[in-house]
Amino acid sequence: MITEKGTWKFKMEDDDGTTHDVLIANTLYAPKAPFHLLSPHHWSQQSDNPNGTYCTIQHDKMILKWNCAKLQRQIKLDEKNNCGFIHSLPTCNKYRKFANSMNSTVEIDRKLSNIKAPKANIDEVAEEYHPVPPFDFDIDKDFDTEQKE
**Domain extent listing, the chain:** 1-88+135-149, 90-133
Tens digit of each residue's pLDDT (9 = 90 or more) over 94-143: 556 666 665 544 444 444 444 444 455 544 444 444 444 445 666 666 65
3 state SS for the chain: CCCEEEEEEEEEECCCCCEEEEEEEEEEECCCCCCCCCCHHHHHHHCCCHHHCEEEECCCEEEEEECCCCEEEEEEECCCCCCECCCCCCCCHHHHHHHHHHCCCCEEECCCCEEECCCCCHHHHHHCCCCCCCCEEEECCCCCCCCCC
Whether the per-residue pLDDT at 2 is higher than 60: the answer is: yes
Confidence band for 65, pLDDT divided at 50, 70 and 90: very high
